Structure 1
């Protein structure tokens, strides 16, 4: 089945309402659906629960939603590049659920696969384990954690066809495939929208069955932290 092809980013996010839970692809600023995030900022939707590896930086990505006070709760694994994030947490303005990065990836994958919970050794004996079930397997303790799902998943791909099949570019792939599978509605921001049959079936990263809508757009692809080599003396 052909997917919905949006003609504006505002139209693509119009069904995301207050109190929605959204997953957003990316790692740092790499592979983020930056235009869909900008459209959410403009929509003024609020009281969001956001599931993503991190919350962008102070002036880009999910950091813009944070600055706009549109996020009530953040579930992620890394928050070190955002001073506004720190301020809101310390001020009691933002609820945070920090999860080990590998566990976060597996929680998202489990949600997309219909697995309600699984056991992991990560977090055993730490505050993360408080109030959670711990079981022993083969003499080792494991912590039970639940899978994650979202009302909407926003992902970014290098290419997508009109059936919703997606291909990511190198490390921009990161969390995007797992997040695409875990949303009740998944919207893909693609750098290039191609015709059906243009993508090699053996190299498709996200099958179209997981995607409900696509939109083509140009990204800025900002560099999160620029490091330059010093000239030899």
Structure 2
């Protein structure tokens, strides 16, 4: 059983996408980041960076004690290896996926996260920051669009953890100031993943647990997210 410590953010969606595709048994353990639950001692014991997602595998492959993993990229790797899917076994295929996974966790996610912050959550607009991160978002979309020309998925013909890592960060493209019409290869990839049944199930989980708290307008949520 995989215990998934989760909240509906792009990084949280990555893991439900994989779990729903793989059919691994799992249980959601909500971590309401708007209420500051990411700072609870029990959560910090498995996720010392006070960020979710994190997992606890109660039946790891080595037969030992339950194993915890934090950081979304590491979790994707762990689960792909556990289920034997979504990460090619051959050298070239594996590294085709890994380089794009690392591109997402080191570039796409952090830069688009700053786009979200300065466009939506900053207490006052800072034009330089908004322009900086919208421009970088556009550049990264272009990188991914060029990569997807002639390919169904990021690493080639197969759906992998590289796609699962990137897709949730493209979902809020309109809020990032982007139109997918300008990126036709990215748009085709996006629509293909959105149509997958597992994608629908993953995002339905988010709809069930998120509630109505909006960090953009909720003073308590803003304090927990940006003030600690």
| TM-score calculated relative to the size of structure 1 | 0.28
Q: Which has the higher helix share?
A: 2
Higher radius of gyration, 1 or 2: 1
| TM-score calculated relative to the size of structure 2 | 0.29
Q: Which has the higher strand share?
A: 1
